[in-house]
Structure 1
Amino acid sequence: MIGEPPRVEVAMATFNGARYLPEMLASIAAQDWPTLAIVASDDGSKDATLEVLRSLHDIPIRMIENPGPHGIIENFAHAVAATTAPYVALCDQDDVWRADKVTRLMAAMQAIEAEHGTARPALVFSDLELVDGALQTIAPSYFAQGDVDRQARTLADFALVNHVPGCAMLANRALIDRAFPLPPGFHIHDWWMVLVATTTGTIGAVDAPLIRYRQHGGNNIGIFAQPPTLWARLRRKLASPLGYISSRRDFYRQSAHVTRATLTALEARVGPELSAEDRALLDGLLRGSFSRRRRVMAGARTGLSRANRLGTLFYL
């Protein structure tokens, strides 16, 4: 007899999300994975978010009401810390999931675990469809936009920035236990999960858009499919060349600062478990010259434009 499918918990962070939350919750309730529950951490919402969550009866839900606001990172950390299931899917409050999202991600996860076992940290992710506030398609594939790369799998690919949205991720318990709690002051929870997965476990992907990823101007993190035109960028540069150069330098310095802090925290957390290749990569990025940093990152699928990649490496 085939046993009951393993439990999957959806870790959701909410804050003043009543406008779009009903659609998100309905899409979770419509999932074809039978053993699903929600753990929702609210960051002190002032709108009807809590009432919307309490009105959900189609699927088990546990609510954590924080006095907040503490910010999206701490809010997600609260949600994940409260999970107990063998598998955890991260969830934003304003998207819509395809009915087979969890089933497709679990199939990819179980394929990894069949090869490596459940004790090895594992993370899987899917593509996303970009939509506007009214769920009208902006672009059919997130990974077809800009410089993001669906083939990224290694530490080098993710060392400078994360290019997989957390809402597309599903993690096993081994990864949750290894990645949490987050390092103090960490900037992006999903980036941290990816980094821990690449250095201590395995990453897999489903090459299909399983989420309608809503871009409405109020996202904490997102991608807009309509970047400034070439003429608009040229006008901005020509209007104030020194100002533009200064702003780019500040951007690269800040990016490098965040990256250095992130990689330092990673080395402190998983240092003894690093492969020789990953150890050499971190050593080159954190303690090498600019030319060495470029060498160790040669060929990496960073999800960054050439200018942003070189700028970050220069100031790192």
Structure 2
Amino acid sequence: MHSLDQTPRVLVLLAAFNGMAFLPAQITSVLDQQAVAVQVVISIDRSCDGTEAWAEQLAQQNPRVSVLQRGQVFGGAAPNFFRLLRDVDMTRCDYVALADQDDLWHTDKLARACQQLRFTGAAGYSGNVTAFWPGGKERLIDKAQPQQPWDFLFEGPGPGCTFVLAQPLALALQTWVRQQGQALQPVDFHDWLIYAWVRAQGYQWLIDAQPHLRYRQHAHNQLGANAGLRPLLHRAWQMGNGWWLGQASLIARLLQLHEHPFVAPWLQGQRGGLLQLAMRAGQCRRRQRDQLLFFLSCLWMVIFLPGRGRLPCALA
């Protein structure tokens, strides 16, 4: 780990796919980070808009940028990030950060994260973001409520594009990702799984209330900001159709928590287990509003969908 008088070395892992509309501006905001030494590694899901050629040309022109061998089809951000975590050499940095292709970073984003990790002793960092839309609308996405004992199984700590990991944690995570192999393929959200793994291993995670990233919203966001009626209805539908249960159950099993007394009763979506989960909603979500919704959703499952393996898990 770097000393106070050394510039932190940050390795940025960026996953891209058909990113030419926004990627150049995002890369510029990453390379313009102040008070840190940045190296960027890009993994590109096979694209058709010139992303691969553009990134390779940038890497030839800028020694701080490199591109992993192209040609693979990942089909989503999660397997692309798992590829980065598995294959990139992380031994020559102090911190590892994740980056999407379409955001805009404040120039102090990484310096702030490194400072917070160093002075709090936390191993993992995420932060609030300012979501913005093409028409000029902006909204704070606040994920910085107090962490709860089991929130990591049901929600993430903010967008993965805010994640920064201390190097020892990143190396431990890399070892685990390599061990899992194809078992990670069904995971839809890498950031939710990373947070869950970090918390399950007993590491401290910090959620920063100060936003240092502009979180671009557009038609092709894989998840996007939970703002407005339409995203809320979409997530309500996911909570009721069994998708979230599948993800929470998968994460619990990957983390070897499936036999834990808290997890086992609800893992199969049985009525008694869901009722127990409803009564412990305060341990499963950070925001009080979300705790109430979680409680009500569990009760809905108990009444209308007993024994069908469905659970209202939380937003990633």
* Matched residue SS, 1:102: helix
- Name the CA shift for 1:298/1:2 in 2 (closer, same or farther; >3 Å): closer
Distance 2:148 2:173 in 1: 16
Give, in angstroms, the shift of residue 111 of structure 1. 1.6
Q: 1:158 touches 1:302 (CA, 8 Å); kept in 2?
A: no
Deviation at 1:197, TM superposition (A): 1.6
Cα 1:137–1:97 change in 2 (3 A) is farther
Change (3 A) 1:179 1:254: same
Q: Indicate whether 1:255 and 2:248 are aligned.
A: no
Are residues 177 and 107 of structure 1, via their aligned partners in 2, closer, same or farther at CA, if it must alter by over 3 Å?
Answer: same
**Root-mean-square deviation (Å):** 3.1
1:204-219 correspondence to structure 2 within 5 Å? 204-219=206-221
Q: 1:39 to 1:248 in 2, by over 3 A?
A: closer
Q: Mapping of 1:1-316 within 5 angstroms? A: 3-53=5-55, 54-55=57-58, 57=61, 60-71=64-75, 72-81=77-86, 82-84=88-90, 85-113=93-121, 122-133=123-134, 136-139=136-139, 141-143=140-142, 149-180=143-174, 181=177, 183-185=183-185, 186-200=187-201, 201-228=203-230, 248=237, 251-267=240-256, 279-286=260-267, 289-302=273-286, 304=290, 306-307=292-293, 310-311=296-297, 314=301, 315-316=310-311
Q: Residues 38 and 64 of structure 2 are in contact (CA less than 8 Å); yes or no, is this contact kept in structure 1?
A: yes
Q: Tell me the CA shift for residue 178 of structure 1.
A: 3.2
* Contact 1:38–1:60 (8 Å) recurs in 2: yes
TM-score scaled to structure 1, two decimals?
0.77
- 8 Å Cα contact 1:8-1:87 kept in structure 2: yes
Q: Distance in 1 between matches of 2:238 and 2:63?
A: 49
Aligned residue for 1:177, secondary structure, equals: helix
**CA shift at 1:310, angstroms?**
4.3
Q: By how many angstroms is 1:100 displaced?
A: 0.2
Q: 1:32 offset after TM fit, Å?
A: 0.3
Residues 166-223 of structure 1 show CA distances to partners (whole Å, capped at 9, x for unaligned) of 0011112233233341543222211111111212201112221111100011111212
SS in 2 for 1:36: strand
Q: Cα–Cα, structure 1 residues 73 and 249, in superposed 2: closer, same or farther, change >3 Å? A: closer
Distance 1:49 1:312, change over 3 A: farther
| Mapped partners of 1:4, 1:199: distance in 2 | 31
Deviates more, 1:164-173 or 1:281-290: 281-290
| C-alpha spacing 1:70/1:309, structure 2 compared with 1 (3 Å) | farther
CA distance in 2, matches of 1:97, 1:225: 20
TM-score, L = length of structure 2: 0.77
Aligned-partner SS, 1:124: strand
Where does the alignment leave 5 or more consecutive residues of structure 2 unmatched? 302-309, 312-316
Tell me which residue corresponds to 1:275. none
Answer whether contact 1:27 1:98 (CA < 8 A) is retained: yes
Name the structure 1 match of 2:306.
none
Q: How many residues were matched structurally?
A: 280
**Unmatched 5+ residue regions in structure 1?**
117-121, 144-148, 234-243, 272-278
